[in-house]
Copies of this chain bind each other. A is one copy, B any other.
Amino acid sequence: MNQVLHDRPTPFLLVDADVLEVNLTAMAAYARDRGLLLRPHAKTHKCPQIAAAQMAAGAGGLTVATVAEAETFVDAGVEDVFLAYPLWVDAKKGARLRALSERATLTLGIDSPEGARAVAAHLPGARVLVEVDSGHHRSGVDPDAAGDVADAAVHTGLDVRGVFTFPGHSYAPGMQADVAAQEACALATAAASLSKLGIEPAVVSGGSTPSVASVDAGVLTEIRPGVYVFGDAQQWELGTISPDRIALTCLATVVSHARGNVVLDSGSKAIGADRPGWTSGNGRLLDHPAARVSQLSEHHAVVSWNSDAPLPELGTRLRVVPNHVCNAVNLADELVIVRGGRLVDVWPVAARGANT
């Protein structure tokens, strides 16, 4: 680690540019080889520089979750954005979306006739995709009911382009292939339910980072992975991203050896508090695979060292892998970009906090 990195106050987020590029290139090639459009979810990085690199590597557009995220990336020059969310469009959001639609091709998610009518009232003729629940049980309609929502949307004058789902239940051990099969089945059923009404779905969109390796390219036309750019401890533990492909870590300092543990200054305000029941801790150390963040407070990560090797001295800097990288990035203002251990750039997390 060079002096600039050693002097910068911890905790901060470090991105290995070489690993990032490998990840971007590999996913772009994966999609291209299967005839799928890659539309990465920008919620993971929230960073115009990374969006630009994704587009340059062959992405066909971006996915976002909020109007504020869409504004950030359209401002940065992205011309095709899908808001994969059942937005409730009121007068204010409607005005912002109309302004955006003059500068970029927008597609919105809907999962109800009421939602469709609200979109149509403020954004006449908007492109929409109907959201389908493929088993994650969050938002989206049952696949059989997709036609009903599409029909209501068509009757309000919306341009129904197809269907989408988020197979989020792929974030669980051993579930990836099964969930990809459920995703394909749900999307095929939904697409058929539109076809029956004479609405030909041009877009059949799915794909999460854990499930994308098993995606059914016979059904889907588009994938929307997000986490693949950086990886995180969840993906490491699921076996969907190997540790050598983890591009983002939180650089942290050892501040205490209380009770024979390593206590780091990367708490939940730096790496996020996500801890699904199947994970082995609140995060991991990239260079010490046996170690686990076993307890997390706002500014303390208590690490079980799990090794006969001596504890790193107080003041040592270690690379922490957050459990859920999307929430870790949303806590930071900047990403510190390194190549070969040297700081080469600092990129803004331009859409941090862009929740509205």
A258 touches B331 (CB 8 A): no
B92 touches A256 (CB 8 A): no
A273 touches B270 (CB 8 A): no
Complex alpha-carbon distance, A90 and B254, angstroms: 12
B356 touches A333 (CB 8 A): no
Secondary structure at the A interface, as helix, strand, loop or mixed, is: loop
The residues of B that contact A87 with a CB separation of less than 8 Å are 255
Nearest chain-B residue to A353 (Cβ)?
B333
Copy total for this chain: 2
Residue from the list B298, B315, B332, B355 in contact with A299, Cβ < 8 A: B355
**Within A258-274, which residues are at the interface with B (CB < 8 Å)?**
258-259, 263, 265, 267-270, 272-274
A255 touches B10 (CB 8 A): no
Q: Check: A81 CB closer than 8 A to any chain B CB.
A: no
Residue from the list B265, B327, B356 in contact with A12, Cβ < 8 A: B356
B356 touches A9 (CB 8 A): yes
Complex alpha-carbon distance, A10 and B326, angstroms: 20
State the Cβ distance, A113 to closest chain B Cβ, in Å: 10
Q: Check: A114 CB closer than 8 A to any chain B CB.
A: yes
Q: Which of A137-145, A196-204, A240-248, A285-293 contacts B (4 or more CB under 8 A)?
A: A137-145
**Within A320-352, which residues are at the interface with B (CB < 8 Å)?**
324, 326-327, 330-333
Nearest chain-B residue to A67 (Cβ)?
B9
Interface pairs (11), CB distance under 8 Å? A9-B67, A11-B356, A85-B299, A86-B263, A87-B255, A114-B315, A138-B258, A139-B258, A140-B258, A298-B327, A331-B355
